């Protein structure tokens, strides 16, 4: 009589077949194709420009800037926990005169290297400031502004402290626009900016990329009259600006610069930079 094959027997044979097939593929050099999916970043690990290369790529030459191109602009850098100990004297010797350090993200993360990085830039003579990586899907704009100010994002009119910057760009942890409608995103940004100004007396700098801004805010123009723009574009020219601004105050032009990677240019002289810092 023919024996009936139980469900368990069938499952066992399937498992054996899969294992044997895998062994054969390995022996013959025909290993299964590896997955290409990038792992989800750990919360708190985001930094300025985390989505720029993936979504905007590069256009033209990036990296070192000639003396002619530097004329009328002042070199800067931005850093986060990724850089850890920063060679500030090296950057200063190379002509870097200002720096922003990531202070916070959301309402629970503070850069553990913030104090050393922030004071290290100051100690070599740089004008320095702090930035906040926005996560609009986690808490309100006002709550994140409060957390930022309370954990390093304040401002003083000493001529050496830049106004805080809001890093608002692609969501590295999920939906590019953080699940918000364009009107919802504009409201969130406005809440952050209003609370920051109420706490510090300064209008925060907005760091963003043109393509993200126009897509996720619906090309909103309302902040251009009050908030300085820091635009991200890794190219030999600044290109089209986000809706609402006719000129940038700062430009992150590469992620492959010397010493720390991210390099920026202030749209003015070193004297103008200090005047901007003083408010």
Query: Is 78 known to be catalytic?
Result: yes
Token representation of residue 31? 């290993």
CA pair distance 103, 223, nearest whole angstrom:
23
Distance spanning both ends of the chain, measured CA to CA: 94
Query: Is 167 known to be catalytic?
Result: yes
Q: Which of 78, 146, 203, 264 is catalytic?
A: 78
- DSSP per-residue string spanning 79-136: E-TTT-S--HHHHHHTT--EEEEEEEETTTEE-TTHHHHHHHHHHTT-EEEEEEE--T
Q: Which of 56, 146, 167, 264 is catalytic?
A: 167
Kindly compute the dihedral angle of the four CA atoms of residues 273, 58, 178, 130, in this order, to the nearest 10 degrees: -20
Q: Which of 75, 105, 146, 169 is catalytic?
A: 169
Kindly compute the dihedral angle of the four CA atoms of residues 139, 144, 145, 148, in this order, to the nearest 10 degrees: 180
- Give the catalytic positions in this structure: 78, 167, 169
């Amino acid at each position: 009589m023919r024996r009936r094959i139980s469900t368990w027997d069938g499952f066992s044979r399937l498992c054996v077949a899969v294992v044997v097939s895998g062994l054969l593929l390995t022996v013959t050099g025909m290993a299964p194709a590896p997955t290409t999916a990038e792992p989800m970043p750990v919360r708190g690990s985001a930094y300025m420009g985390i989505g720029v290369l993936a979504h905007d790529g590069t256009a033209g030459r990036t990296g070192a800037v000639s003396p002619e191109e530097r004329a009328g602009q002042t070199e800067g850098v931005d850093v986060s926990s990724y850089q850890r100990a920063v060679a500030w004297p090296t950057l200063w010797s190379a002509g870097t005169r200002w720096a922003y350090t990531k202070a916070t993200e959301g309402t629970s993360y503070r850069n553990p290297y913030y104090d050393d990085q922030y004071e290290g830039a100051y100690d070599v003579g740089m004008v320095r400031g702090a930035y906040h990586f926005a996560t609009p899907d986690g808490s309100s704009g006002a709550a994140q502004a409060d957390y930022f100010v309370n954990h390093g994002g304040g401002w003083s009119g000493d001529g050496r402290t830049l106004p805080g910057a809001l890093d608002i760009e692609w969501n590295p942890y999920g939906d590019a626009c953080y699940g918000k409608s364009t009107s919802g995103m504009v409201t969130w940004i406005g809440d952050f900016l209003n609370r920051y100004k109420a706490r510090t007396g300064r209008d925060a700098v907005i760091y963003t990329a043109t393509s993200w801004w126009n897509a996720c805010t619906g090309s909103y123009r309302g902040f251009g009259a009050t908030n300085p723009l820091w635009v991200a574009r890794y190219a030999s020219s600044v290109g089209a600006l986000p809706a609402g601004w006719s000129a940038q105050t700062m430009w992150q032009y590469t992620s492959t610069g010397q010493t720390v990677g991210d390099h920026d240019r202030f749209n003015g002289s070193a004297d103008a930079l200090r005047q901007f810092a003083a408010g």
